[in-house]
């Protein structure tokens, strides 16, 4: 079934992460721009069986925070793929500064057309980013293609959950600049259709709702002044309104987050 989509292009996503969006999300989440920070990366790494021999592909690697953390703590090799110039350049700069350039490389490119040969990686990885991608079926097919046989697909993402009005659906996706979100079941089906065996799928939505409430509290109490000073009152109001919308929808079980582990 074709899912409804907002008319969001990769150019729109680049505008977010080349501009204030990347900075604001780093303010709230840290340089690992996903819910749960390091502990979530450790959990995903354990579930994917990441070890010193692994070559991992981080699809939508942003600032390279998880890539550096994985190289430091699991001694693996990581390739980061991201489509936004500012994120790509910053990932390279921070990695050189951390002295980790021998273990990591960053490639500027689109997850829907990965510039890698088939059967290249032991682990294909994603954290809270694939919600930006305009064609999840093609994305999962690309992930399956570049995985070695026996390799693991491991990712978390923001998800569509309960029923909502068209108005809510549009406002939630438009604020985040998501074309649409997948469901947990939808991702599992896409993985199976791409020839992968789903090992585990987990609904993390209650934890997600708590995090969104925490981000809203931070915006209102810790970062309000900095956002107003740097980006203006209008931007602050839009951010507060958008995160409030997400807080309400996550508390009502309409949106959430999940984790999928699958083997090729």
Ligand X SMILES: C[S@@+](CC[C@H](N)C(=O)[O-])C[C@H]1O[C@@H](n2cnc3c(N)ncnc32)[C@H](O)[C@@H]1O
Binding region for ligand X (CB under 6 A) = 10, 13, 17, 32-34, 60-62, 65-66, 81-84, 87, 110-112, 127-129, 132-133
Report DSSP letters for 211-235, one per residue.
Answer: HHHHHHHIIIIISHHHHHHHH-HHH
Nearer to ligand X, 14 or 189 (CB): 14
Q: How far is the CB of 12 from ligand X (least distance, A)?
A: 10
* Helix or strand holding residue 127 (H, E): strand 121-127
Q: How far is the CB of 31 from ligand X (least distance, A)?
A: 7
Q: How far is the CB of 163 from ligand X (least distance, A)?
A: 26
Nearer to ligand X, 14 or 228 (CB): 14
Nearer to ligand X, 66 or 256 (CB): 66
- What is the dihedral angle through the alpha carbons of 167, 170, 175, 176, rounded to the nearest 10 degrees? 140
Query: Exposed e or buried b for every residue in 80-116, given b needs 16+ CB within 10 A?
Result: bbbbbebbbebbbebbeeeebeebbebebeebeebeb
Nearer to ligand X, 20 or 112 (CB): 112
Q: How far is the CB of 102 from ligand X (least distance, A)?
A: 21
């Amino acid at each position: 079934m074709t899912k409804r989509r907002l008319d969001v292009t990769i150019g729109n996503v680049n505008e977010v992460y080349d501009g204030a969006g990347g900075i604001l999300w780093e303010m709230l989440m840290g340089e690992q721009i996903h819910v749960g920070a390091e502990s979530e990366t450790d959990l995903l790494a354990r579930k994917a069986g990441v070890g010193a021999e692994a070559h991992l592909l981080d699809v939508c690697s942003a600032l390279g925070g998880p890539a550096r953390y994985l190289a430091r703590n699991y001694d693996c090799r990581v390739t980061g793929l991201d489509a936004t110039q500012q994120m790509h350049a910053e990932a390279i700069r921070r990695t050189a500064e951390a002295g980790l350039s021998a273990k990591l490389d960053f490639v500027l490119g689109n997850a829907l057309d990965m510039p890698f040969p088939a059967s290249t990686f032991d682990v294909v990885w994603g954290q809270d980013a694939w919600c930006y991608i305009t064609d999840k079926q093609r994305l999962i097919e690309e992930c399956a293609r570049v995985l070695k046989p026996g390799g693991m697909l491991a990712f978390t993402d923001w998800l569509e959950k309960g029923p909502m009005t068209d108005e809510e659906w549009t406002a939630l996706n438009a604020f985040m600049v998501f074309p649409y979100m997948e469901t947990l079941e939808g991702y599992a089906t896409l993985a199976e259709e791409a020839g992968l065996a789903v090992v585990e799928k987990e609904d993390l939505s209650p934890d997600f709702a708590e995090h969104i409430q925490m981000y809203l509290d931070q915006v209102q109490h810790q970062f309000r002044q900095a956002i107003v000073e740097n980006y203006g009152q209008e931007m602050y109001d839009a951010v507060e309104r958008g995160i409030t919308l997400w807080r309400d929808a996550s508390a009502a079980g309409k949106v959430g987050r999940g984790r999928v582990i699958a083997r090729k």
